[in-house]
Structure 1
Amino acid sequence: MFAIYTPNGRSFSGPLEELYHVQKTQLSEQTRSFQELDEFSPLLKKGYSPAPKAIDAYNDAISKTETKELICHAYQIMTYPVAVIADSDPLTAVIKIFTQLAYQEFPIVNSQQQLVGSLSRQQLYEYLLKHGADVDKSSKAKSVADLFLNEHSKIYTAEPVTDIRRIAVLQVRNHLHTIPILENNGKVVGIISRTDIIKAVAIDPPLSLWC
């Protein structure tokens, strides 16, 4: 299950298919229905098929790791606990957070710890480069909400038990670097970046993502 959060709260909750219906996204005729996710078809190039023997050998290899739990869902690969930014934090505090921590994006929460948006390192750098010397003491004292959130702000989220393939599809189609993982009560319990998915694919077989 996925959701969209804005500074005013949750504006959508439902499966990926409904999310795209709400967005009125026109899917390509070449894109397989999300009801079939045996392979990551929207991202695969056509025209090559491995030999059946190679597929059999691969399946034999991964079947030997029976003691490891299959990686299927968000909660298995998400980063937690999550470092967050408060919507009331001043710009000076935000700059310090990005300086101290290497994450590329942080969820923004309000005083009730409810998600209201996100701030990426790129957004922060673009703001600082744009304003340059104009970032005076008054600007540095302004809150994250004042500087980076507005009525158009929105952030995509997923629940802990969400298929990783669907999260990957959402990230690619919407050019997202991270997706916060929220429980149904709106509490942020983790975050998934593209790096988390790549690590799961590269390091942690057996994997139920592409095979």
Structure 2
Amino acid sequence: MASDEKKNMFAVYGLSGPIYQGTFEGLKDVAGVHRGAAVRPIAEGEPAPVFSAPVAQAVSAYREMLRSDPERGPLYHAYQIMQRQIVSVTSSDPVERAFRILLERRIHQAPVLDPTYRLVGIVSERDLLTVVNVEDGRVRDVLARKVSDVMTTPVVSADPITDIRRIAWVMLEHQVDGVPIVNETQVLVGFVSRSDILRAIITDPPLSLWR
């Protein structure tokens, strides 16, 4: 089993290579990484939120499922839910090619690699639409740009054994829709999207929310 020191590790990759490697708490001090508005925790002594009947039933059913089979372990880490067949683009790709890849694979973002297959950024459908004109689902015209011109860099990545909940926090704090998973040799080995986390919540074995 991995030591505590190796758990929950994040890294930030830019065009020049790794910018930061460390804990989730240290990400806030990394220059250039966008930080959104934090979710306000419930203060001490403040009443717990009251759920509507459907939500309360769903929470109750989820907790009951956790108790129903204690021998089946819940999901904790990125490697348990990450996409292993990664759809990526390169920084030198024309934006039209990248946009077509996202459309064909029905995804909204993809990690960006440099010519040596090193992670350098992430590009989203929104990024590409700033230079691609789409009409009736088809590319009508496009500015002569490369992925490197519109991608987001630096990009936050996580280690395969990072806690899923901390990855969810990164998505909220840094307003991103996905987090690349990079191993200790700086190789891209997976990708966790918002959909992957939502899917984990409803699958069996369940995602541990109350550990």
Superposition TM-score tier, normalisation by shorter sequence: 0.7 to 0.9
* Cα separation, 2, equivalents of 1:28 and 1:81: 32
Give the structure 2 partner of residue 34 of structure 1.
Answer: none
Helix, strand or coil at the partner of 1:126: coil
1:98 aligns with 2:102: yes
Give the deviation of 1:46 after TM superposition.
5.0
Please give the per-residue CA displacement for 1:150-176, whole angstroms capped at 9, x wherever unaligned. xx8211100000001111111111111
Residue type of the partner of 2:74?
L
Give the deviation of 1:209 after TM superposition.
2.1
**One of 143, 146, 167 as aligned partner of 2:146:** 143
Residue type of the partner of 1:106?
A
When the two chains are superposed, the root-mean-square deviation of aligned CA atoms in Å is: 3.4
Bigger Cα displacement from structure 2, 152-161 vs 89-98: 89-98
1:18 aligns with 2:22: no
Pairwise mapping of residues 39-54 of structure 1 onto structure 2 (< 5 A)?
Answer: 47-48=48-49
Q: Is the 8 A contact 1:85 1:108 kept in 2?
A: yes
Quick one: structure 1 residues 206 and 101, their matched pair in 2 at CA, closer, same or farther if it must change by over 3 Å? Answer: closer
* Cα separation, 2, equivalents of 1:95 and 1:58: 38
Helix, strand or coil at the partner of 1:181: strand
Give the structure 2 partner of residue 162 of structure 1.
Answer: 162
Quick one: structure 1 residues 107 and 28, their matched pair in 2 at CA, closer, same or farther if it must change by over 3 Å? Answer: closer
**What is the TM-score normalised by the length of structure 2?**
0.75
Residue type of the partner of 2:120?
V
- Report which of the two has the higher share of strand: 2
Query: Identity across aligned pairs (percent)?
Result: 29
Give the deviation of 1:95 after TM superposition.
2.8
Quick one: structure 1 residues 88 and 64, their matched pair in 2 at CA, closer, same or farther if it must change by over 3 Å? Answer: same
Residue type of the partner of 2:150?
F
Pairwise mapping of residues 112-123 of structure 1 onto structure 2 (< 5 A)?
Answer: 112-123=116-127
Give ranges in structure 2 of 5+ residues lacking alignment: 1-8, 52-56
Please give the per-residue CA displacement for 1:37-96, whole angstroms capped at 9, x wherever unaligned. xxxx69xx953379xxx9999655422223433200000011111011011222332232
* Cα separation, 2, equivalents of 1:4 and 1:168: 16
Give the deviation of 1:191 after TM superposition.
0.5
Give the structure 2 partner of residue 174 of structure 1.
Answer: 174
Q: Is the 8 A contact 1:4 1:13 kept in 2?
A: yes
Aligned residues: 189
Q: Is the 8 A contact 1:71 1:209 kept in 2?
A: no
* Cα separation, 1, equivalents of 2:80 and 2:64: 24
Residue type of the partner of 2:196?
D
Give ranges in structure 1 of 5+ residues lacking alignment: 32-40
* Cα separation, 1, equivalents of 2:110 and 2:36: 30
Quick one: structure 1 residues 87 and 28, their matched pair in 2 at CA, closer, same or farther if it must change by over 3 Å? Answer: closer
Residue type of the partner of 1:63?
R
Pairwise mapping of residues 29-108 of structure 1 onto structure 2 (< 5 A)?
Answer: 31=41, 47-48=48-49, 59=63, 61-108=65-112
Give the structure 1 partner of residue 113 of structure 2.
Answer: 109
